[in-house]
Amino acid sequence: MKGAFIDRDGVIIEERGYAYRIDDFAPLPGAIAALRKLAAAGYKLIVVTNQSGIARGLYTEADYLAFTSHMQEQLAAQGVRLDAVEYCPHLPEAPILEYRRQCDCRKPKPAMIERSAARLGVDLSRSVLIGDRGTDIGAGRAAGVGRCFLVRSGERLSVDDEALADGVYADLAECVGALLLSEAS
């Protein structure tokens, strides 16, 4: 079974800086259709997202979970079922003591990917990761994900980050289109 490990902010939804309110849910153009195409092509859909806003005290874990539930409901209403949503609330220098730690899940560490792959029976070598930062690529590489891509719809990419990726695309829709075209040939 193959998986698509996808960052949330800047890839699926607009990068708004710590999206946690229901009103912050704003899918990027073409993202929902791209997710449907990935699922139809046999990919398990797994969101992997760093959520340091929790550790920074900007919002609570309950706020994050309510937002995630809303996101899943909105996506399901448009024919997209996420197989897993993994998040890391930790930060080594966090002001909220409960979340202050060096963890193995904060990207570029691979634990979010590894945990969900093991739980879902995903073959990492046949899988893809799509993110908007070098830390996303780092996590994918550390976990052994077969192909790792960057999109420009979120954070500004450096030349160094782009060099880490197997491909760089304007957004999730373009990335998925190219991926599925390459698999068809």
Torsion angles phi and psi, residue 167, rounded to 5? -175, 150
Predicted pLDDT of residue 58: 97
Domain 30-115+136-184 of CATH type 3.40.50.10490: no
pLDDT at 152: 97
Q: What is the pLDDT of residues 72-85, one digit of tens each?
A: 999 999 999 999 99
Active site residue 7: yes
Q: Does residue 123 have an active-site annotation?
A: no
CA 28, 3, 174, 164 dihedral sign is positive
Residues 108 and 141: their CA atoms lie apart, in Å, by 9
Q: What digits encode the pLDDT tens for the residues 37-59?
A: 999 999 999 999 999 999 999 99
pTM > 0.85: yes or no: yes
- Name the nearest CA neighbour of 7 among 182, 178, 165, 177: 165
Pick the closest to residue 144 from 172, 178, 118, 177 (CA basis): 118
The one catalytic residue in 7, 136, 161, 171 is: 7
What are the respective helix, strand and coil percentages of the chain, to the nearest 5? 45, 20, 40
Q: Which residues contact 77 (CB under 8 A, 6 or more apart)?
A: none
pLDDT at 167: 98
Q: Establish whether the linkage from the previous residue to 27 is cis, with ω within 30° of 0.
A: no
